[in-house]
Structure 1
Amino acid sequence: MINRREFLRAGSAVGLSTAFGTQLAGCVPATGGIGSEYFPTRIPQGSILNFPASEAPIDHVVILMMENRSFDHYLGWLGSDQGYLERGLRNYGGSFSIDARPHQEYTDPLGTTHSTFSMTGGTSVAGYRGCGFADPGHGWGSGRIQRDQGFLAAGSGNDLFALGYMEAADLPFHARMARRFTTFDHYHASVLGPTQPNRRYLHSAQSGGYKNNYLPILELGHQWDTIWDRLRAAQVSVRSYSPDLPSLAFWGERMIPMFAPIDRYFEDCSAGTLPAVTFLDPPYLPWWQADDHPLSDPAAGQRYLRDVFRAFTESPHWANGLFILTYDEWGGFFDHVAPPVLPDLLGSRDDQQNFGQAGFRVPTVLASPYSKPGYVDHRTYDHTSILRFLEWRFLGAPPEGSGGDASWSLSPRDRNANNIGNSLGATNPDPVLFDLNDLPLRAVTPICAGIPQAPSPGMQPDRSASSSQSSSAMSLDAPRDASDTGALAGDHGAPTEPGGPGADLLDALELGYFEQIGASTEFSSMAGTWASQPGS
């Protein structure tokens, strides 16, 4: 007798043969000037969470966390994409909507009101990178000021750059992903703070009480439990692939067996030998940065995202696979939705001590043959919602709710989190994609040089900080100049030091941390692939 798992797999196989046989018929012109796209007419039915986890059709999960962009800043254009909205109404009824608002106004400390502005075409005051502007504020304190007083308030850490927004033509990969798969208009960073605390929540449902990008050098890595420890203990295969340095190294030597260069990811995709759960790092280091962290060019990130996603969809794993794209935090860019307060191990009535205060919304897409096309999930999520899916699928957690034995959970945060797999269908999958080979990807612009200036909100940037050299001109052995304030000194000028993992990994490298835990510091031969390509 066929069981439900075999039934779901049979449905997947039928979907593959049927869908690919009619792929060309499903391609129609897209709005937004980004070429042709595939808009499915077949919608996955039911909910994957209604089946026992052991019978779920998802066997391979790939998680990719990029850097420092807010929802309205990157996906706000969806709120006025008429084709997208019309398809949503047709597929999901009159209640279909998306809470996306790129047009906002904020007041600076001098009382001047400024409107958000489009960065399309790179012709705005901020260009594509924001050269000459400051990296927007995204700390524990500046985030709270942005929440309470606005994104240009005194103490927000922001200048005019934080009010720029992208459009579909600027982000062709994101545009096609959001239109083809499922996105979320209430997916928030886990804490209203910077990169590392949010990444700690993705890995462990807490940040160890750290509010900042503290590096665990002396203790040779964070020592508390992670989802990776739990999965490995349950004999679930896991691996972390990196173009340069692995961000999971901040959890110490016990993570080293997981590490592999990004070259291996492409090989494993092709061979059909990916683990059950994959974590992907983007290229973080400044010479080839493609993680979307300001002041990098999103064009480099678009190339990296396209290539790693295409490899997964061309692998045997795609039929029963799930690709999760998200961002660690909002990066100081404007977003109109107030962040919620969530249950937390270190929740507090004192706002300055409250780790339950989530951050602003971040762009997130759930891509799978079982994803509802062009769908918007309105429930509240954060990074621990990804953990909740993994805990349900592989570790015996209930699909939803915090009741019963909670030994599967890492903290109260993931125990109470909504499961990000809620919108995944259980039957009628559609594996067909848009054409990943015809994305109109523009050339990557020259890297910013020097320390970014921080003009008063609304003022023009200091263009003397701009550079005409390309990122490929940077010396790979450029030393850190101890006399500067954080730039990388080199023969060709000093690019702005990356924030987030790029800066943290460089610091750890220079302090000998990788050698102390026994991790390799050899970069992948592919590390510079994405930041130096011309336009397509």
Structure 2
Amino acid sequence: MLTTTALLLVTFVNADNCICMDNRAYCGSHFTKTCGLNSTDLYQCVTRGQPPVRRFSCPNGCHKSDSQSASDTCVPDDISCTCPDNADHCGSVLAKQSGKDCASLDPNSLYQCEGEGLFPSWRWTCSTGCISNGPGVNDTCDKGASNVVGLTKIKHIVIFMQENRAFDNYYGILGGVCNYKDPNAMVQDNGNSIFYQPDPNSPDKHNGVNSSLPWMITGPKAGCTLGGSNFWQGNHDAWNNGSNNNWPVGNTPNSLGYLAPSNLPFYYELASQFTIADKYFESIMGSTNPNRLVLWTEILEKAGITWRVYQDIDNFDDNALEWFEQYQKSTKMSPLRVNGIDNWGLDSFFGHAMNGTLPQISWVVGPTELSEHPDNGPMAGQWLTQQVVNAIKNGSSWEDTVLIINYDETGGFWDHYPPPVAPIGTLDEWINVDGAAPIGPGYRVPAFIVSPWSSGSVVFTEPSDHTSVIMFIEQWAMANGYSPEDVMCPYVSTYRRNHMSDLTRSLDFSQANLSVPDTTPMPMPSRDPSGSWDPTEECEAVPGPFPTIPYGNQTFPVVEPGFKLVRGNNPGLGRTYVFQSGAQALIQNGKSIAFGPPSPTMTNPVQYFTMTMASNNNDDIGDNIGYRIVANNGRCLSGAGQLVKCDQNADNWFLLDLGNSEGFVFYNIPKGEYLQYAGTSFFLSNQIATTFAVYSV
């Protein structure tokens, strides 16, 4: 269970002469005493012209670098623990150096090295382990190997980014995803679940605290009801230094609103036909424009990859390329103008998709009132999304096309799941302007992967954000023979490359479904007499008030029944799982696991398991990575199928997705072996033999 008690506190430095001139890390003693900094703490300069941000204290003292380019560092327990080169390295790699005592370093953390003989500096802990990539090469957190085996089958990638919806605003009650039944929901310092947001204006109390719950937006004006503020300040005030419990006060009670399935008929149907990503985050904890800057087309142009942005004259100013001088001043026949900012029109996209003449990479930008940006409603946006899906799915290139549907940001609507922000002071991930704050990732937004290899009612669980789309295109391009030097985007931060998915495991290349039936047709949105779209005005003109939070009559949201097949390495927190192997389902049998007949509706509670974060109670290697797997009787999976008390003696596990219909395996971290079943018993083995289909219920 997540708690807010261990969250890092932001340190503000306000001394006038404590100003950063570069982006290095410095000991507090580097600055003058009037800065008020602790001399033995390490500070990171994240924003030039602003004060540094405190990263952490240095128990052995802080070492000032003699180099004019390298950062200061904390002194390790043993001063012989120095770096071999200027690459990032796992603690386990540094500990293996001959003649150097780095045993005190966390083997599963990544350390930054800025030169041979310098002290390593902690970056972050890798919750799924740290892997060595060789001398002089950056080590990385272990996200699992990219699923590149079938990327050559893809000839077209289409990206359609809609506007301003949080995941919970659309899918908080959708079954089979990380929803309002989250078994690992954060617990506030006041003891209440994160769903009970402190609200001094609410007459409703929970455990003595005035609180507001997520509330269903209903009535004829549900679709055109506004949320809260989508701006930087409102989002960060609501985030509340990681507590995520200041939405009614820091933003607005309207932020807690969510829509019913009756307002999202196409999207619920789409979620039953294809893959929904329930851990897809906005890249920036802020508004539209910074999140839409992930349109990196110049790299494609230089690499010789064909691309185009499809838009009408009305594009809601959502084509970020139009904001830049090189596009604005490009010549009439320049590829930057022709493919980047000319108005090809959505009808051209539909036609090119149908006849198979799309470029290799396409972006679709919708008009204002079909964008779903509150108060523009989801019904009109669903009609447009359905046209995009149908044009691709019924077109002549469906067999080799992947469509990624995502949303730029949350629109000021809340999401219960905490954003996976980088450790405080991480370069490229934090900023210090009027106080230190994380740039992102921000809150979850809806995302779908629509393709012949992502059909079925599937949930993709790997942490992702807009940079994941970039990394997906990178992997696709390299698999198709393009040089990494030509296609790797230099603007994706080290943190995102270590922690965000490249989406490749959302695809199952072992099978392609080319006959997905059409969804129920959405009604075409209305137009005004001039022919312009006007569904928003039509909604706003409906008699009666807009819905508001039902103070005095609040009830906890009821999640729709349902389940989804899971894809993604180490699916982790936020869901309840059922594990099936062949014609059997894993069950808890008191103090051990066993196999029993599966439940067709996934409603047998003895088959329910959850995952919690690894314990860190021992000094054993591997005790701070992976997950505990918890049966519905509250006992933890350990050893060869035992269920034990969830204390420091319980084992940690990886749940590894082998990909392409090969299933998942349970990997016991302390023993370094896989859970197997043969005859009538479970045992651990260094061979993979027993695999599972995993479902989220």
Instruction: Return the TM-score normalized by structure 2.
Output: 0.46
Which structure is higher in helix share? Answer: 1
Query: 1: distance between equivalents of 2:509 and 2:228?
Result: 41
In structure 1, distance between residues paired with 2:373 and 2:380: 11
Aligned to 1:69: 165
Letter in 2 for 1:116: P
Counterpart pick for 1:193 among 263, 273, 286 = 286
For the pair 1:394 / 2:477, whether they are aligned, the reply is yes
Tell me, yes or no, if structure 1 residue 117 matches structure 2 residue 196: no
Q: In structure 2, which of residues 190, 196, 209 is the aligned counterpart of residue 105 of structure 1?
A: 196
Alignment partner, residue 426 of structure 1: 509
Instruction: Provide the rounded CA distance (Å) in 1 between the counterparts of 2:427 and 2:492.
Output: 6
Q: Distance in 2 between matches of 1:379 and 1:265?
A: 30
Distance, in Å, in 1 between the alignment partners of 2:286 and 2:400 is 35
The more displaced of 162-171 and 351-360 is 351-360
Unaligned runs of 5+ residues in structure 1 are 1-46, 80-84, 86-97, 204-226, 461-536
| Cα deviation 1:42-77 (Å, max 9, x = unaligned) | xxxxx9944467x62111111011111111110122
Partner amino acid for 2:164? Answer: N
Match of 2:222 in 1: 127
Choose which of 293, 304, 313 in structure 2 pairs with 1:235: 304
For residues 129 and 184 of structure 1, the distance between their equivalents in structure 2, rounded to whole angstroms, comes to 25
Could you tell me the TM-score, scaled by structure 1's length?
Answer: 0.59
- CA distance in structure 2 between the aligned counterparts of 1:409 and 1:415, rounded to whole angstroms: 11
Give the Cα–Cα distance (whole angstroms) in 2 for the partners of residues 262 and 330 of structure 1.
Answer: 25
Cα distance between partner residues in 2 of 1:309 and 1:77 = 24
**Structure 2 letter corresponding to 1:77:** I
The equivalent residue for 1:487 is none
1:188-237 per-residue CA deviation (whole Å, 9 max, x = no partner) reads 0001111111111x22xxxxxxxxxxxxxxxxxxxxxxx21111111111
2:262 aligned partner, one-letter code: A
Q: Does the CA-based 8 Å contact 1:345-1:412 persist in structure 2? A: no
Q: Work out the CA distance in 1 between the residues paired with 2:161 and 2:265.
A: 18
Tell me if 1:175 matches 2:268: yes
* Residue identity opposite 1:363 in structure 2: P
> How far 1:433 sits from its partner (Å)?
2.0
Would you say the 8 A contact 1:239–1:275 is kept in 2?
Answer: yes
Distance 1:61 1:179 in 2: 22
Larger radius of gyration: 2
Q: Deviations over 1:396-453 (max 9, x none)?
A: 6999xxxx9797122243644320122201121112223235457898561537xxx9
Whichever residue aligns with residue 214 of structure 2, its letter is T
For residue 397 of structure 2, what is the aligned residue in structure 1? 317
Letter in 1 for 2:322: A
* Equivalent position of 2:155 in the other structure: 59
Please provide the CA RMSD for this pair: 3.4
2:227–2:413 contact (8 Å) kept in structure 1 = no
Question: 1:393: Cα distance to partner?
Answer: 1.0
1:291 aligns with 2:371: yes
The letter of the residue matching 1:261 is G
2:249 counterpart SS class? coil
Alpha-carbon deviation of 1:459?
A: 7.7
Partner of residue 250 from structure 1, selected from 293, 311, 323: 323
Tell whether the 8 Å contact from 2:452 to 2:512 is kept in structure 1 after alignment. Answer: yes
Number of residues of Structure 1 aligned to a counterpart in Structure 2: 353
1:111-136 deviations in Å (ceiling 9; x for gaps): 5433322235x25xx63211xxx551
Structure 1 pair 381–99 and aligned structure 2 pair: CA distance change class (3 A): same
What does 1:359-398 align with in structure 2 at a 5 Å threshold? 359-395=442-478
1:106/1:441 Cα in 2 relative to 1: closer, same or farther (>3 Å)?
farther
For 1:405-424, list aligned pairs within 5 A. Answer: 408-413=488-493, 415-416=497-498, 417-424=500-507
3-state SS in 1 of match to 2:157: strand
Deviation (angstroms), 1:354: 4.3
Give the conservation status (yes or no) of the 8 Å contact 1:108–1:457.
Answer: no
Residues 318 and 272 of structure 1: CA distance in aligned 2, closer, same or farther (over 3 Å): same
Of the structure 1 ranges 326-335 and 240-249, higher mean CA displacement relative to structure 2 is found in: 240-249
Residue 345 of structure 2 is aligned to residue 261 of structure 1: yes
The reply on whether 1:347 has 2:414 as its aligned counterpart is no
Equivalents in 2 of 1:176, 1:396: separation in Å?
32
CA distance in 2, matches of 1:62, 1:353: 36
Q: Which amino acid aligns with 1:72?
A: D
SS at match of 2:276: strand
Give 3-state SS (helix, strand or coil) of 2:464's partner.
Answer: coil
Query: % of aligned pairs identical?
Result: 27
Deviation at 1:342, TM superposition (A): 4.3
Q: Is the 8 A contact 1:240 1:281 kept in 2?
A: yes
User: Taking structure 1 as reference, are residues 347 and 270 closer, same or farther at Cα in structure 2, changes over 3 Å only?
Assistant: closer
SS of the residue aligned with 1:430? coil
Tell me the distance in 2 between the aligned counterparts of 1:336 and 1:167. Answer: 17
Equivalent in the alignment of 1:534: none
